[in-house]
Chain A
Amino acid sequence: MKIHEYQGKQLFAKAGVAVPKGIVARTPDEAAAAFTQLGGPIAVVKSQIHAGGRGKGRFKEQPEQPGVKLVKSADEARENAKRMLGNTLVTIQTGPEGKQVNTLYVEGGLNIARELYLAVIVDREAGSPVVIMSSEGGVEIEEVAKHSPEKILKEPFHAGYGLQPYQARRLAYQLGLSGSAVASAQSFLPKFCRFFVENDCSMAEVNPLVVTAEGELVALDAKVTFDDNAMFRHKDFAELRDLSEENEFEVRAGKAGLSYVKLDGNIGCLVNGAGLAMSTMDLIKLHGGEPANFLDVGGGANVQQVTEAFSIILADKHVKAVLVNIFGGIMKCDTIVTALLSAYDTVGFTVPLVVRLEGTNVEIARKMLADSGRKIIAATDLTDAAQKVVATLKA
C-alpha cells in the first residue's frame, strides 16, 4: 500500500525523523492561509499523488503548470493552487492518463546546502533490510545506477538491532559529510531505519534528503510503501489509503480475494495460481494476442469469486475474448466448471469464451462443459487454448 508524501512526513515526524514544516491544503484559500501560517519568505506548493516526477510533471488542463512550485507570497500560493487542484498531473510515472490532484502540501522553504538520496528496502539476496544512499540527490536513482553505479552506497542492517551509529557514520563519511552533518546523520539514519522496520515498510524513499546550511539532515520528500501482508498489525494505516489513487477494478478484485492487474490488451484471462496466470499472459502474447489482465482466482475458487472475476474482466471495454486456464489440483475441475457455468449465466457473456482445463476429474468437467449448451469453446491443451482465443479475434 502506498501513501501520500504528506502522510509519510506526518509518520516520519512521529518517529523523530526531521521534516520541514508543512500544512495540507484542499482549496486555493487554504493554500494561501498555509503560506501565511508558515511565516517564511518562500514556500513550496506540492501536488499530492502516488507517483514521482511531480516537479517535472505538467497538468493536462494547464500545460505550463508544474506539479511542484516554489512561491513567494500567499497570493502566488493561491493562484498556483487554483491551477493544480482538480486538474490532471502527468509525470513520467503516471503514464499518459495522469492523476487528478485533490490535495496539496504547502511546505516551508529550507536553506539547502546539499541534496542526497536515501532509501531503505528489503534486499532479497542479503535477506535483510538495506540502506541505499547516494550523493546524487534529486535525480532518478535508476539513472545514477546506470551511469555512475560507484556513487550508490549500500549498508545492510539487522532488522532486530537496527542501523548502528558506526554504520550511519560510515555512510556520512562516504558521502563527504563533515562537522555537525555527521552528527545529524548519526541521529537521523538509525531513526529512519527504525521507522522502516516498526511500520513494516516495503520501501521508504527520501529523494532528496537535504543537508541544510546549518548542517541538519531533513527529509524533503517521503515515498512510503507498506507491506500489504503486514497490514493486519497496523490497522490504523487503513485510513491512510487513498482509493482514488488505485485502479477501481484492482480494488474490487482485492475485496473478492482475487489478484488482478489491468493490462492494455484485449484478451481477458482467468487463471488459478500466480505463476500459471503470468504464464498464460506470456502464452497469449507468444501466439500473437495481447493479454488484457493478470487474474489469479487462487486455490479455492468458488462461484462468487469466479462471478466477480468475470464481471471485472468484462467491465474492461477493450476485452474482446476471454481465456480461462485452470489446472485443477486439490480443487477439482468439475467443481470449477460448476462455478464457471453459474458465473457465465449471471454475468451474461457477449464475447467468445475459451476454456482449457486439466487435472483432477477433468473428464467429468469436459463433459459438463460440452453438455452445458453454452457457447463455450473447449481447448485441449495450452497451445490449443492460445491459438483458439487468438483466432476468435480474427473471425
Chain B
Amino acid sequence: MSILVDKNTRVICQGITGKTGLFHSQQCRAYGTPFFGGVTPGKGGTEVDGFPVFDSVAEAVRKTDANCSLIFVPPGGCGDAILEAAAAGITLIVAITEGVPVLDMVRTADVLATKFPKSRLIGPNCPGIITPGIAKIGIMPGYIHKPGPVGLVSKSGTLTYEAAWQLGNVGLGQSTAIGIGGDPIIGTNFIDCLTLFEADPNTEAMLMIGEIGGNAEITAAEFIKAHIKKPVAAFIAGQTAPPGKRMGHAGAIISGGSGTAEEKIAALEAAGVVVSRSPADMGKALVEAIARKKGR
C-alpha cells in the first residue's frame, strides 16, 4: 500500500519531446513506472524513443487510459498544462517545472479547486512522487528510495534525497515519498499528505521536511496535534537564513519577522513532533519519534 500512486497508476508526460521531459520519462520507464507516452501540441502521431506522442492530453487519455501526468513544460505554459490535464480527467498531476509565476499558480489553483476538484496537483517546482518498488513519477534517483513504512513529505528536492538516504542508513524505507515543492502556491500541502499517510495502513511513521517562509509548517503542527496518531519527525531548513532574502526557492523567505525556522520548530515540538536540529540527524529523529510513541 501507499498513497496517491500504486500499480493502477498510468502515466503520461506533458512536454515529452523536450530534452528534460524525455530524459526523465525514460528514467521513470526504466524504474518500472507504467508509462504510456506523452503530449506535445503539434507533434501528435510521432514517436520518441518508443513513446507515442499525442497532440492533447484528452487524446492521450482516450488512447492510453492515462490517469496521471508528469509535467515538464516551460514556466509560462505550466498553468495551462495543469488545467489541460485536469480538463482531460487526469486525477494526479505532477508538475516538476521550476519558476512558474506566482499569479499563474493563483489562477490555476483557483480553477482546479472550483472546476476540477477530482484532480490533485503536486508541485510545481518539486521532485515529484515515488512509491518505491511500484512507480516513480518525478526526477528523484529511484535507487535511494527503498520500500518501507515511512511516509516522507518535503518542500525540497535534494534534501528529500538526503532524508531518504539517512532513512536507508537506519534500515527504514518509504511507503511513499512526496516532494510538495518550494513555491508559495502549491497544489498539495503538508496537511494533505499527513492525512493520507495517517489513513494508509502501510505507513507507520512520517518524516516531514519544511523550510523557512510562510506558515504551512505551523498549520501542519496544529493539525498533527489534533489529528495524527502515528509518530512524526521533522526538520526545518533555514535556521540561519537572514530575513528578507529569498533562499533559492521562491517561497523560502522570512518576511516581516514571520516564517522563521525557530517558530516552526517550536510549533512542531509543541505538537509532539521530534524535530532534528541538524540535517544530519533526520533519520535518527524518526527512529526517536517511533521509540517515543512505543514507550507511551
Contacts and interface: CB of A to CB of B under 8 A. Distances in A.
A359 B247 contact: no
Contacts of B215: 124-125
Given A124-B184, A282-B237, A327 B161 contact: yes
B144 A329 contact: yes
Interface stretch (A271-279, A335-343, A345-353): A271-279
Interface stretch (B42-50, B62-70, B275-283): B275-283
Contacts of A360: 141, 143
A200 interface: yes
A174 interface: no
Contacts of A159: 103, 106-107, 110
Nearest to A203: B255
B101 A329 contact: no
B75 A229 contact: yes
Closest 4 CB pairs of A and B: A275-B156, A274-B248, A273-B158, A275-B159
A383 B245 contact: no
Interface stretch (A59-67, A69-77, A291-299, A313-321): A291-299
A276 B159 contact: yes
A274 B247 contact: yes
A360 B113 CA distance: 39
Given A283-B279, A284-B240, A359-B161, 14 more contacts: A124-B184, A124-B216, A202-B102, A227-B103, A230-B101, A274-B248, A276-B279, A278-B238, A279-B279, A281-B241, A282-B238, A294-B248, A330-B24, A330-B27
B162 interface: yes
Given A124-B184, A329-B140, A233 B76 contact: yes
Assign chain A's interface to a size class: 35 or more
Interface residues of B, number: 62
B237 A286 contact: no
A242 interface: no
Contacts of A283: 278-280
Interface in B180-232: 182, 184-185, 209, 211-212, 214-216, 219
Contacts of A230: 101-104
Given A263-B242, A274-B156, A276-B162, A282 B106 contact: no
Contacts of B18: none
B139 to A, nearest CB: 6
B278 A294 contact: no
B248 A358 contact: no
Contacts of B252: 274, 278
5 contacts: A160-B107, A232-B75, A273-B156, A275-B209, A327-B162
Contacts of A273: 156-159, 248
Interface of A: 122, 124-125, 127-129, 141-142, 145, 158-160, 197, 200, 202, 227, 229-230, 232-233, 259, 261, 263, 271-286, 291, 294, 296, 299, 327, 329-330, 358-360, 381-383, 386
A142 B24 CA distance: 45
B158 A272 contact: yes
A125 B158 CA distance: 25
Nearest to B169: A381
A330 B157 CA distance: 11
Contacts of B157: 273-275, 299, 329
Contacts, number: 173
Given A124-B214, A197-B103, A358-B165, A285 B156 contact: no
Contacts of A291: 240
B99 interface: yes
Contact of A275 (B99, B155, B240, B242): B155
B109 to A, nearest CB: 5
Contacts of B143: 360
B257 interface: yes
Nearest to B155: A275
Nearest to B244: A93
Given A327-B161, A359-B141, A383-B278, A232 B247 contact: no
B103 A259 contact: no
B162 A259 contact: no
A143 to B, nearest CB: 10
Contacts of B29: none
Contacts of A259: 247-248
A280 B110 contact: no
A381 B141 contact: no
Contacts of B106: 122, 127-129, 159
Interface in B101-132: 101-104, 106-107, 109-110, 113
B240 A282 contact: yes
A312 B178 CA distance: 34
A363 to B, nearest CB: 14
Given A127-B110, A160-B107, A279 B237 contact: yes
Interface in B54-79: 75-76
Given A263-B242, A274-B182, A282 B248 contact: no
B154 interface: yes
